[in-house]
Amino acid sequence: MTTTQQLTPSLVRVVLGGGDLAALSMPDATDAYVNVAIPPPGAPYDDIFVPADVRERFPKETWPARRRYTVRSWDPTAQVLTLDFVVHGDTGVAGPWAAGVQVGDVLVFEGPNGGYLPDADADWHLMVGDESALPAIAASLEILTPGAKAVVRLVCDGPAHELELSSPGEVDLLWLHRAGVASDEDLLVSSVKVAAFPEGRVHAFVHGEAVEIREIRRHLLVDRGLTRADMSCSPYWRRDMADEAWRAVKRDFVAAMETEVA
């Protein structure tokens, strides 16, 4: 790990260099993600480890926690990889790790994989998410063709948590703030429901909290007539569930989401 930067009160940028980054093969996607592996304190193996070996050789309670993080940027010349971590209070593993990370610390990860790239043939783009989707949305906005239309709806805690985003496109951007709102779970959903959509075929990217994403997906397919092929839509995390618990039910949740509106 080479540098860190506090981007907003709840977003920490971690810039990785060295290690075996030279071997990295980046997919052509703006939502490429890596599987990071964060060992528990006092883990009985080296800082640099192969997750599968650890699972084979060490007791389960010492296994690293697995989390997914989007590649915010990759510089193949300098071999520098940038990830942005949401620090959501002091709960969890990856958030607290990012809050306390020091230059020289090691981060083990596998990947990357990814699948979404804004479709240059679409008439316009819709991008919706919370802080966890910001790295993918920021990277996607940066590569739009000049003048491409994008409607972007983002939710964050308050004005200090907004991030400056740049794009050669024509962007209709609205930040929604959780602060001062009795229940913030409807913020994104409601704002997408009232958003004025440009004419023509949209290519949509909708990622973030599971229940919110499911409702936005339903609205886009049922009320706005989008097709599944024109949407990249997935629940990144689930309110009140650590990632281990979420991964245990995610397959069923996604299956139910997909049969609800196929």
Residues contributing to the site for ligand FAD (CB under 6 A): 33, 67-70, 84-86, 88, 91-95, 131-132, 135, 236-243
Tokens of 196: 């004025």
Give me the residues paired with residue 258 across strands: none
Min dist CB 10 to ligand FAD, Å, is: 8
Residue closer to ligand FAD, measured from CB, 67 or 214: 67
Min dist CB 230 to ligand FAD, Å, is: 19
Residue closer to ligand FAD, measured from CB, 88 or 177: 88
Residue closer to ligand FAD, measured from CB, 8 or 132: 132
For residue 223, give the DSSP letter. I
Min dist CB 121 to ligand FAD, Å, is: 25
Residue closer to ligand FAD, measured from CB, 85 or 205: 85
Min dist CB 204 to ligand FAD, Å, is: 16
Task: Give 120-156 as a 3 state SS string.
Answer: CCCCEEEEEECHHHHHHHHHHHHCCCCCCEEEEEEEE
Given phi > 0 = left and psi -120 to 50 = alpha, else beta, which region is 89? left
Q: Which long-range contacts (CB under 8 A, 24 or more apart) does 171-177 make?
A: 171/141, 172/196
